Amino acid sequence: MVGDGAGTGESVAARREDSSVRRFVDTRAAALVALAVLCGGLAACGGSGSSPGGDATASGAAAHPAPSVTVAEVNRIVAEYDTANNAVNAGYDAAGVARIEGAPAAPMTASRLQQAKVLGQPLTSVIHRVQQVVSPSGQEYPRWFLVLTPLVRGTTVTPRPKYLIFSRETASAPWRVVYYPYPADVSQVPPVAVGPDGGAAPVLGGEGLKADPSLLTRAIYEHYTVGRDTLMNLVPTTALERELTAGFRVGQQQVQARGMTFSRTLLPTSYPSYLVRTVDGGVLAFTANAVRDVIAPGKAGGQASLEAGSPESALLGRTGSVKASEFTVDRLQTFLTYVPPKSAPGGVQVIAYDDTPTSVK
């Protein structure tokens, strides 16, 4: 994570404000600074799960199994992460991100560190205060757990907790952050089904849910690119409509207004996803996808351009605008989504969205 501090919420909003296409065409210096602040905890964030049809009941009053990782161990892991993360940020050490984060968090964080270094953006130290732990029981490797944690930057604390998922591949491997979403509206997030010691039942699939979590990537992509999804009922949320969909459409309009064409495709990926049971029998789903954007001139013999100070220009090592016959930009997007049980009213809600370019050619 890079610079996620008291301004984490504002940083996320600023990043999402010019999310998707807008990042290419209208990324202002203020938004970039906010982006760097958001990434301030650049290197890691993770999650945990419990099982559909597991131990949790609709009222949340259920017997919870013993955790795979104790709360004391989690506090130690998070503290060690904070120390390493702040050291990585202080040195703009993009290569060092892999020591403390795994995919999909690592490539996003490394990209943001590179952007911050090129653009001369300062990164401040941050710490996480563990508020709640969700540790699924009976895990073989890889193991993982979820931490809900406000982020502290200086004397300021984020108004809502971040959701960090830590994962460990083997008994000898380090714990790494793999997701770090920050909900746009905490009122939309149902509480997780977990015992006082952090123990939770693992989520084994999508049975009993209103939609199949494995279809989220395609459904979200269809929703914001073509205005509909044929796979599930995605209901309007701040993250889905105001940040993702509106940002994408505004970006398209801006590209066209500058005499360029823009196209986006969904890439095949194999990023890990994580499911956490909520007290009503639904799940919180942590998912990621990658998209490829192509920006080209609208006329034969013309040139496409990237704005000065944009994340995309920074990934090419430039602070000024960049022109070329065509640009291909790969972006990584992560989501935190609530999938309710079949018996519940309402539909599937995207409650957190994050996006950054990871490659520009």
Side-chain-side CA neighbours of 267 within 13 Å: the count stands at: 16
Percentage of the chain surpassing pLDDT 70? Answer: 83
Distance CA 204, CA 274 (A): 10
Contact residues for 79 (Cβ-Cβ < 8 A; gap 6+): none
Rounded Cα–Cα distance for residues 40 and 43 (Å)? 8
For residue 121, the model assigns a pLDDT of: 95
The pairs formed by 298-306 with CB atoms below 8 angstroms and a separation of 24 or more are 298/256, 298/259, 298/260, 298/261, 299/259, 302/259, 304/260, 305/258, 305/260, 306/24, 306/360
- Mention every residue, 6+ apart, whose C-beta is less than 8 A from residue 318: 118
Evaluated on CA atoms 20, 40, 108, 171, the torsion sign reads: negative
Tokens of 27: 């990324």
Residue 287 has which token pair? 């998912």
Identify whether the C-beta of residue 348 lies closer than 8 Å to the C-beta of residue 338: yes
At 142, is the secondary structure helix, strand, or coil?
A: coil
The per-residue pLDDT for 154 is 84
Rg (CA), the chain: 20
Give tens-digit pLDDT for 74-88.
Answer: 999 999 999 999 999
| Cα 247 to chain centroid, rounded | 16
> What pLDDT band is residue 174 in, cutting at 50, 70 and 90?
very high
For residue 60, the SS3 value is coil
Cβ contacts of 312-316, under 8 Å, gap ≥ 24: 312/23, 312/24, 312/27, 312/357, 312/360, 314/114, 314/115, 314/118, 314/119, 315/111, 315/114, 315/115, 315/118, 315/357, 315/358, 315/359, 315/360, 316/360
pLDDT in tens, 49-81: 333 333 333 333 346 789 999 999 999 999 999
Backbone φ, ψ for residue 135 (5° rounding): -125, 105
Q: What is the pLDDT of residue 267?
A: 96
8 A C-beta contact, residue 322 and residue 305: yes
Q: Mean pLDDT, to the nearest integer, of 191-198?
A: 94
> Residue 227 above 80 pLDDT?
yes
The pLDDT value recorded for residue 131 is 96
**What is the Cα–Cα distance from 126 to 326, expressed in whole angstroms?**
38
pTM, full prediction = 0.84
Give whichever of 34-38, 46-50, 237-241, 254-258 has the largest mean pLDDT: 237-241
Higher pLDDT among residues 323 and 230, named by residue: 323
The mean pLDDT of 110-117, rounded to a whole number, is: 97
What is the rounded CA–CA span in Å between residue 172 and residue 320?
A: 45
Q: Say whether pLDDT at 5 is over 50.
A: no
| Distance between CA atoms of residues 136 and 324, nearest Å | 49
pLDDT of residue 3: 57
